[in-house]
Amino acid sequence: MTHSILVLYGSYRADRQGIRLARYVVRELNDLGADAALIDAKAIDLPMLDRMYKEYPVGEAPPALEDLAGRIRTADAFVFVTGEYNWGVQPGLKNLTDHFLEEWFWRPAAIASYSAGRFSGVRAALAWHGTISEMGMVPISSSLAVGGIGKTLDADAQPIGESGAALARAFPRFAADLAWWAEAARVQRQNAGTPY
């Protein structure tokens, strides 16, 4: 069965490099038979969190928020593509995520981190594990960590050089792990519902 997967990306920078990894993940998941779509926080441009989606009266949430809530509710899984800002998560992605809560519940999430340097955004990835868990998702054990993003994927999100080859080798396991958990969670929701 085809899994609907939302790939969430949060950089607002003018010369953002991580969009390459987000586009790579979307393309590769789709090539493997998923129905993957990019959710770009900059393109959606939600305001800084004042009121969560659930705090609006029914039918009164801004259209962008209403649309995104529906897409999150119907997704089977998520991929958070995250850069690292001062040892932490990107504010744009965190802001987008925090507008919702129950919409995320009972689905798996994977983390793909990146940086221009050698640490590959892993400190942000670590921070996302706790956030994802708190928001009712299950972080899968497989992750992608891409250092030297500009030397790993070209402007068309195609792997280049040794690091690009390493990413291409790592991706199938990452995708298979996410697909397994997406299917397991879907079957459990269908057969047993959710605890609350």
Cβ–Cβ < 8 Å for 118, 112: no
Q: What residue has token string 């990019």?
A: 38
pTM of the model: 0.96
pLDDT at 87: 87
> DSSP state, 2?
P
Q: Which residue ranges of the chain lie beneath pLDDT 50?
A: none
Residue 15 CB partners (closer than 8 Å, separation 6+): none
pLDDT at 50: 95
d(CA 81, CA 133): 16
pLDDT at 85: 87
d(CA 188, CA 101): 20
**Domains by residue range for the chain, with CATH:** 4-192 (3.40.50.360)
Of 27, 42, 18, 25, which Cα lies nearest the Cα of 155? Answer: 18
H or E stretch at 114:
strand 108-114
pLDDT at 67: 97
Residue 17 CB partners (closer than 8 Å, separation 6+): 114, 116, 149, 150
Q: Is 172 exposed, middle or buried (0-12, 13-18, 19+ CB in 10 A)?
A: exposed
pLDDT digits (tens, 9 = 90+) for 101-152: 999 999 999 999 999 888 899 999 999 999 999 999 999 999 999 999 999 9
